[in-house]
Structure 1
Amino acid sequence: MSRIRQDSDSRKTTWVFVAVVVSLFLVIFLAARGQLNPILTNSTVITALAPFQRAISWAGDKINGATTTVWEIATVYYQNKELKEEVFALRQQNLQAAEYVAENIRLQEMLNYKHAAVQFDLMPAKVIGRESSTWTSVISINRGSSDGIKPNMPVVTEKGLVGVITDVSPVASRVQLLLDSRFSVGTLVQRPESRVAGIVQGNPSDAMLPQMINIPRNSDIIVGDTIVTSGFGGVFPKGLMVGSVATVKNDSGGLLEIAYINTAVDFQKLEDVMIITASREAPPQPLTPPKQTPGTETDKDGNLIGGDGKK
């Protein structure tokens, strides 16, 4: 029974499909011959189809508007993404340019010092390491034994004394800083009428404020005095800038004074240094002849010019 019903339904479906196909061909045939136009232009047909046409037109407008909106959003998104990438790239370029400017200034200052300090053979180096536990004691630099670096070579900047080489490997070295409590260097007051001698060493109580010890209590050292290396001991050449006196206090025994020093070098900004690989006696300053009184001038041999001694 069910078999008969299925066969009947299948035949009905087939006939419906055939009828649709034939109708479709018939419509196409009549439209091709122009015989369908009167039917499509009939007012009744137009009225009947109007709601469908409006619906189709409305749907088309909405689809077109939605497509346009999506396209505009996508365009804005990609433009915004490109602008962000461009801004990031420009910021990176600005940072890099600023870094190049800062490095150029540092290197120019070092070069000027190298030209002025003709009594030294100087080798530039970069700071490549600084451990947090030894931040005020030791730094690592990118010069080693392959560059001719040896222990006990002084390290400076154009500002003044940094420290001394302690350990050397083929490609790097460790520098003990002036701030280290184990560091010491013979110094003196640069002021001509003073020339008080002492020893500058690291301050265990305040690493950023080294102390000058062994100063006689009756010395004339004062706040603001410039402190330079004395050259005693043979490691540090004479005349390297150490810093200036910040305060002067009596030591615990009461017989000596202690001067606390503001270092010439800013150890918080230490990036480039120079190693003194050789040192010679600084050339004497050229003598400037005193101004001569008019009427008593002499030539280079001491002969009087003018008056009875006129030549």
Structure 2
Amino acid sequence: MKKVNNEIPIKYIIFTLTGICLVMIICSFAFNGFASPVKNAVSFVVSPATKGMNKLGFYMINKKEDYEKFKSIKEENESLKKQIADMQNDNALSVQDQNELEQLRKLYKLDNEYMDYETVGARIISKDTSNWYSTFTIDKGSDDGIEENMNVIGDGGLVGIVYEVQKNYSLVRSIIDDESNVSAQFAQTSDKCIVKGSLKLMNDGVIQVFNINKDAQINEGDMIVTSNISSRFLPGILIGYVKDITNDSNNLTKSALLTPVVDFAHLDIVLIIKEQKNTGEE
């Protein structure tokens, strides 16, 4: 059986009390004899109610003003957040543009240094999972005239060599890769050597140099370039600078470390030299 709700809604009580107050107010002005007791009754009932309504009104006004202020502050805060985000984004783009411009300047300078060779610019689109650009993919392929064993330069010197070519992209092995061996020589003395990649040593910013003649008159800081007898690399391309020269235990050769001129942690754009030597193993 459905339970009957006998409670009177609060809105009806408020309407009733309001009506009684209005009737008493009218009577107080309409009947003089009735005025005094009615006015007293009205004052007793209406005055607290009026004060309460005034307080409620002021409270609601203040709350509305507080809400409007909060809403305004929130909107202003959101606007400031957007402005900060836009500024950070613009700043990031500006830094990126500056870095790319610097790389392009270096490539332009490098292109002028090797102006006897035909070159084509390429952007790196992916790399291996290590911290270094030991092997990576460029956005130029056979459709752009790229072939295997073409030399890759950038950032001031030798980057590596193209070892696989597809229609729209190619793979490059850099000189720091563990499988890389470059026939090289000292620029000042023409003494020959081999520059071998080592990702482990690259954590200290160097790679290996070995098979240096024990009588070679070489010094710390000497420049090493690609050798004229290399079967895959064009001659005279800067590789880096030698350090920590030591005599080998066989007393026939010397070894050293080499600091590459190229920053293999931050590569983006490279140049491919389209002229190449005959393919062969070094």
The match for 1:166 among 160, 163, 166 is: 163
**TM-score normalised by L of structure 2:** 0.79
The answer to whether 1:175 aligns with 2:175 is no
Deviation at 1:136, TM superposition (A): 5.5
The aligned residue for residue 108 of structure 1 is 105
Query: Would you say the 8 A contact 1:120–1:279 is kept in 2?
Result: no
Distance 1:256 1:39 in 2: 130
1:142 and 2:139 matched: yes
TM-score (normalised: structure 1): 0.72
1:197 correspondence with 2:192: yes
Distance 1:217 1:272, change over 3 A: same
Q: Residue type matched to 2:161 in 1?
A: V
Indicate how the Cα distance of structure 1 residues 181 and 58 shifts in structure 2: closer, same or farther if over 3 A, else same. closer
Q: Aligned partners of 2:208, 2:106: CA distance in 1, in Å?
A: 28
Pair 116,136 (structure 1): closer, same or farther in 2 beyond 3 Å: closer
Alignment partner, residue 3 of structure 2: none
Gaps of 5+ in 1: 1-19, 281-311
Shift of the alpha carbon at 1:157?
0.9
CA distance in 2, matches of 1:162, 1:226: 16
Write out per-residue CA displacement over residues 223-279 of structure 1, whole angstroms, 9 at most, x where no aligned residue.
111111122134212110011111111224232111211111111112211100026
Change in Cα spacing, 1:86 to 1:110, as seen in structure 2 (3 Å) is same
Cα RMSD for the two superposed structures:
2.8
- 2:265 is paired with a residue of what secondary structure? helix
Task: Give deviations 1:111-150, integer Å, cap 9, x for gaps.
Answer: 2322342111111111111122594631111111111100
- 2:106 pairs with 1:124: no
Segment drifting more, 43-52 vs 141-150: 43-52
| 1:44-83 equivalence runs, <5 A | 44=40, 47-48=43-44, 49-83=46-80
The alpha carbon displacement at 1:107 in A equals 1.0
Q: Residue 188 of structure 1 is aligned with which of 185, 188, 209?
A: 185
Paired with 1:134 and 1:98, the residues of 2 have a C-alpha distance of 21
Encode CA deviations 1:72-113: one digit per residue, 9 max, x unaligned.
112211211121122111111111122112111211221232
Task: Pick which of 179-188 and 222-231 moved more.
Answer: 179-188
1:89 maps onto 2:64 in alignment: no
Partner of 2:274, secondary structure, is: strand
Cα distance in 1 for partners of 2:111, 2:51 equals 89
Alignment-mate amino acid for residue 265 of structure 2: Q
Larger Rg belongs to: 1
Residue identity matched to 1:108:
R
Alignment partner for residue 272 of structure 2, among 271, 275, 293?
Answer: 275
Distance across 2 between alignment mates of 1:131 and 1:203:
15
Aligned residues between the structures:
251
CA contact (8 A) 1:248 1:259 kept: yes
Structure 1 residues 39 and 105, CA gap change in structure 2 (3 angstroms)? farther
Question: Residue 161 of structure 1: CA displacement?
Answer: 0.5
Measure how far apart 1:50 and its partner are.
2.1
CA distance in 1, matches of 2:41, 2:270: 96
| Structure with bigger RCO (C-alpha 8 Å, 6+ apart) | 2
Does the residue aligned with 1:206 lie in a helix, a strand or coil?
Answer: helix
Deviations 1:163-203 (A, max 9, x none): 10001111111111101232222211111xx2211221224
